[in-house]
Amino acid sequence: MEIRSAKYLISSPKVENCPEPTIPEYAFIGRSNVGKSSLINMLTGQKSLAKTSNTPGKTQLINHFLINNEFYIVDLPGYGFAKVSQSTRAVWEKMIADYLQQRPNLVTVFVLIDSRHAPQPIDLEFLRKLGEWQVPFNVVFTKADKSTQRDAARNARLFIDTMKKEWEFIPQSFMTSSVKTLGRKAILSFIEEMNKGEENS
Ligand code: GDP
């Protein structure tokens, strides 16, 4: 898929404030600093569509981007901030839980996992929540250029193997590097296919 246009639309504090759910939508989430903004910029081919290196916890909103006038990319605030208060965390949890469970046009959530690390409990817990809520998701391993191909592949395999202990069905995953533009084509083709499916449904 070619990206012909990508523009920032709106930031919403609640699912009720999000744009009309008239076109398919793909959300991105992960631990803070996982490389989410960089990935969204890489996918859309725009240097600063999503803000990179934002202060942890600052952007606690649901950010919508309109792509090709055809679908939305949604940048969700990350989880796992060490420094945020209980009340900020509770607001985040409610916003994310409501959004993920109530957004009717949400096709899938891309959950970002840092390919430099062995499986982390916080990521596995988040996937468990998605399972509980029956929200479809895909896994995106980030920062592949930061370790050897072998180490990144090993961590990805370990993560998938860990998932297999709890999940019957393992969704498609992607290895990416925003620096090397790795994984762009695979994710955009995947979205294109999903969009076609939405058209026919
Ligand atoms: P976010 O907090 O998840 O949105 O993460 P950012 O996109 O702001 O990235 C966090 C840090 O990781 C920044 O310093 C980025 O430059 C760096 N980063 C993100 N993606 C990559 C990548 O694919 N490769 C490398 N080498 N660095 C990355």
Of 51, 46, 37, nearest in space to 143 by CA: 37
Helix (H), strand (E), coil (C) string for 15-39: HHHCCCCCCCEEEEEEECCCCHHHH
**Looking at domain 6-200, what is its CATH homologous superfamily?**
P-loop containing nucleotide triphosphate hydrolases (3.40.50.300)
Mutate to test the pocket of ligand 1, among 38, 47, 140, 184 (most ligand atoms within 8 A of CB): 38
The residues spanned by each domain of the chain are 6-200
CA within 13 Å, CB half, 8: 15
Bridge partners of 142, per DSSP, are: 114
Check residue 52 and give its pLDDT. Answer: 62
Q: How far is the CA of 52 from the centre of ligand 1 (A)?
A: 7
Check residue 10 and give its pLDDT. Answer: 92
Is ligand 1 within 6 A of the CB of residue 177? yes
Is ligand 1 within 6 A of the CB of residue 143? yes
Residue whose CA is closest, atom 9 of ligand 1? 35
Helix (H) or strand (E) holding 123: helix 121-133
What's the mean pLDDT in 90-117? 95
| Least confident range of 76-80, 172-176, 177-181 | 76-80
Compute the CA torsion angle 171, 158, 187, 124 (nearest 10 deg). 60
**Using one digit for the tens of pLDDT, what is the confidence trace for 122-159?**
999 999 999 999 999 999 999 999 999 999 999 999 99
Is ligand 1 within 6 A of the CB of residue 37? yes
Instruction: Indicate the pTM of the whole model.
Output: 0.95
